[in-house]
Amino acid sequence: MSFGEKAVGADFNPSGDEKVNEIKMAFAKAIDVLNDLRDDTTSGEKKRLYSIAITEAQSAQMFGVKAFTWRD
C-alpha cells in the first residue's frame, strides 16, 4: 500500500461500496503527490505546509465518505 492508501484507510470499507473506494482512492492519489513533494524539500516550512495539506485531505476524504454513506 502507498502512503496515501494507508492515510485514507483504503483497506477499510465494510460495506464494500465501490463509490467509497473511489472517494478514498482519489484522495490517496493526492496525498501521495503531497507526500512525495514533502519528501523532496529541505524547507521546514514547506514540510509543515505539506503535512497540513495531507491532514486536510484526510479530513476531506472522511467527510466525503460520510456524506456518501449518510442516511436520513
pLDDT in tens, 24-69: 999 999 999 999 999 999 999 999 999 999 999 999 999 999 999 9
9 to 5, 27, 44, 70: CA distances (angstroms): 6, 11, 27, 19
What pLDDT score does 10 carry? 97
- For residue 6, being part of any structural domain is answered with no
- Say what the pTM is: 0.93
**Local structure of residue 70 (DSSP, 8 states):** -
- For residue 9, being part of any structural domain is answered with no
What range defines the domain where residue 65 resides? 18-69
- For residue 2, being part of any structural domain is answered with no
- For residue 8, being part of any structural domain is answered with no
Residue 14 banded pLDDT, cuts 50, 70, 90: very high
- For residue 10, being part of any structural domain is answered with no
Half-sphere exposure of 61 (CA within 13 A, CB side): 27
Query: Strand, coil or helix: what is 17?
Result: coil
- For residue 33, being part of any structural domain is answered with yes
Q: How many domains does the chain have?
A: 1
